[in-house]
C-alpha cells in the first residue's frame, strides 16, 4: 500500500482579462472550484493505477463535498481529518486569455498533521509499503525520520521546491522524484547534466527519478542510469503530468527489477493526462493505460 501524507487543495479558478493590478478591483468573467493539490492528485493517480492508497491529511468540514474525485478513485480517506476551525488548503488562481496564471496559495489545514497521527498511521504500515510525500504539508522531516526508523521506504517529491528542502534528512529517502527545474534548484546547478551529477554525489544511496517533460524520464540508481522515452502525443494541458507520473510509477514499482516497466506505464499514464484538460479529471484509469500501451 501507499501511505500518502499529502495536500488537499481547493483550486478557485477565476478567468480574468488581465491580472489584477495594485489598487484595482477586477470582475472575473468565469469561475469554478475544483479539487487540487499535488497530494490529492498523486493519491488519485496511485489508486487509479490499482494500488491500495491511503491519504493522510486534513480539510475543513464544509469542503467535504469536494473530495469525491478521491473517493471515486478508491482512495482510502479514513485518515483525512475534518476540521471546523481552519480553512482548507486553497489556491486563488487568475487565468488570462493567453492561459497565463497567477496564483495565491494558502496552506491552511494541510499544515495541521500531528505527530501522534503520524505514529498511529505508521503503525499500520509494513516494510513493503511506501510512504509518499510532497512539499505542501507540515512535519515532513518528522514523517521521514519516523518512517525510516520503522524501515518503511519513503518516496519524496519536493514540489513546490523551497529553500529549506536541502536541510531535510534526504539521505533517509529511498526515492527522490524531481522534475528538471526542481533538480537544478535543489543542486544549485544550471543544466540537467550538472544536476544529475550533483544529485548522485549528494545522495549516493537514494534512487532518483528525474522527469524531463516530453523528453521522458531518467532513473538513477547506484551510479547507473536507465532512461524511458515519453510517448509522442498532442499535448493540451500538462497540469498534473508529474503527479500522474509519480502515482503510476510508485503503484507499479517494487524494486530495481521492474523499474523499466514502471517507467513505461507511468510515461503512458502521464502522456494520456497531458492530452486532456485539468488535473484530477485528466488522470486515466488502469484500463485506459493498458489499452494505450497495447496500441
Ligand atoms: P512536472 O509536471 O512535474 O513538471 P514533467 O513535465 O517532467 O513533470 O512530466 C512528467 C512526465 O509526464 C514526463 O516524464 C513524461 O513522461 C510525461 N509528459 C510530460 N509532458 C509530456 C508531453 N508533452 N508529452 C508526453 N509526455 C509528457
- DSSP track, 103-158: EEEE-GGGG---HHHHHHHHHT--TTSEEEEESSSS-HHHHHHHHHHTT--EEEE-
- Distance from residue 169's CA to the centre of ligand 1 (Å): 27
H-helix segments, 169-295: 180-187, 192-202, 241-252, 259-274, 286-294
Residue of 159, 238, 267, 280 with the most ligand 1 atoms within 8 Å of its CB, for mutation = 238
196 is in an annotated binding site: no
Helix (H, G, I), strand (E, B) or coil at 136: coil
Q: Which residues line ligand 1 (CB under 6 A)?
A: 179, 211-214, 216-217, 230-231, 233, 235, 238, 241-242, 245, 267, 270-271, 274
Measuring CA to CA, how many Å separate 241 from each of 29, 169, 195? 27, 27, 21
Element (H, E) at 227: strand 224-228
Give the tens place of pLDDT for each residue, 21-67. 999 999 999 999 999 999 999 999 999 999 999 999 999 999 999 99
Helix and strand totals (H; E) in the chain: 9, 13
- Distance from residue 286's CA to the centre of ligand 1 (Å): 18
Residue of 245, 248, 272 with the most ligand 1 atoms within 8 Å of its CB, for mutation = 245
Helix (H, G, I), strand (E, B) or coil at 10: strand
pLDDT of residue 277: 87
What burial class does residue 1 get, using C-beta atoms within 10 Å of its C-beta: 0-12 exposed, 13-18 middle, 19+ buried? Answer: middle
pLDDT of residue 239: 87
237 is in an annotated binding site: yes
Nearest CA, atom 13, ligand 1: 213
Give the tens place of pLDDT for each residue, 249-291. 999 998 788 999 999 999 999 999 999 988 898 999 999 999 9
- All domains of the chain, ordered by start, with CATH? 2-8+37-87+111-294 (3.40.1190.20)
Nearest CA, atom 1, ligand 1: 242
- Distance from residue 84's CA to the centre of ligand 1 (Å): 37
The catalytic site residues sit at 243
Nearest CA, atom 5, ligand 1: 213
* pTM score: 0.96
pLDDT of residue 202: 93
pLDDT of residue 42: 98
Nearest CA, atom 22, ligand 1: 214
- Distance from residue 274's CA to the centre of ligand 1 (Å): 8
62 is in an annotated binding site: no
- Distance from residue 214's CA to the centre of ligand 1 (Å): 5
Distance CA 58, CA 8 (A): 7
What 8-state DSSP symbol labels residue 169?
-
β-pair partners for 91: 11, 105
- Dump the DSSP string for 59-116: EEGGGGGGGHHHHHHT-EEEEEEEESSSPPEEEEEEE-TTS-EEEEEE-GGGG---HH
What 8-state DSSP symbol labels residue 118?
H
Nearest CA, atom 3, ligand 1: 242
pLDDT of residue 256: 80
Q: 175 is written with which cell numbers?
A: 526515492
Distance CA 158, CA 162 (A): 8
Half-sphere exposure of 210 (CA within 13 A, CB side): 27
Percent above pLDDT 90 for the chain: 94
179 is in an annotated binding site: yes
136 is in an annotated binding site: yes
pLDDT of residue 71: 98
Amino acid at each position: 500500500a501507499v501511505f500518502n501524507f499529502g495536500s488537499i487543495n481547493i483550486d478557485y479558478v477565476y478567468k480574468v482579462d488581465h491580472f489584477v493590478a495594485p489598487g484595482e478591483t477586477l470582475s472575473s468573467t468565469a469561475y469554478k472550484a475544483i479539487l487540487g493539490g499535488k497530494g490529492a492528485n498523486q493519491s488519485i493517480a496511485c489508486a487509479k493505477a490499482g494500488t491500495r492508497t491511503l491519504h493522510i491529511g486534513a480539510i475543513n468540514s464544509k469542503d467535504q463535498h469536494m473530495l469525491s474525485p478521491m473517493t471515486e478513485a478508491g482512495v482510502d480517506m479514513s485518515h483525512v481529518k475534518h476540521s471546523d476551525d481552519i480553512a482548507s488548503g486553497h489556491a486563488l488562481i487568475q487565468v488570462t486569455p493567453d492561459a497565463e496564471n497567477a496564483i495565491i496559495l494558502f496552506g491552511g489545514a494541510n499544515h495541521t498533521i500531528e505527530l501522534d497521527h503520524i505514529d498511529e498511521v505508521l503503525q499500520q504500515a509494513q516494510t513493503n509499503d511506501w510512504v509518499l510525500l510532497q512539499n505542501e504539508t507540515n512535519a515532513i522531516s518528522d514523517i521521514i525520520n519516523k518512517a525510516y526508523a520503522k524501515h518503511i521506504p519513503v518516496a519524496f517529491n519536493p514540489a513546490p521546491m523551497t529553500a529549506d528542502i536541502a536541510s531535510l534528512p534526504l539521505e533517509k529517502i529511498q526515492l527522490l522524484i524531481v522534475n528538471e527545474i526542481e533538480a537544478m534548484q535543489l543542486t544549485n546547478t544550471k543544466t540537467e547534466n550538472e544536476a544529475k551529477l550533483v544529485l548522485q554525489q549528494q545522495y549516493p544511496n537514494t534512487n532518483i527519478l528525474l522527469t524531463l517533460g516530453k523528453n521522458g524520464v531518467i532513473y538513477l540508481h547506484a551510479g547507473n542510469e536507465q532512461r524511458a522515452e515519453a510517448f509522442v502525443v498532442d499535448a493540451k494541458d500538462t497540469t498534473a503530468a508529474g503527479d500522474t507520473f509519480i502515482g503510476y510509477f510508485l503503484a507499479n514499482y517494487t524494486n530495481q527489477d521492474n523499474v523499466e516497466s514502471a517507467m513505461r506505464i507511468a510515461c503512458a499514464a502521464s502522456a494520456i493526462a497531458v492530452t486532456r484538460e485539468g488535473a484530477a479529471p485528466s488522470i486515466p484509469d488502469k484500463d485506459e493505460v493498458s489499452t494505450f500501451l497495447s496500441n
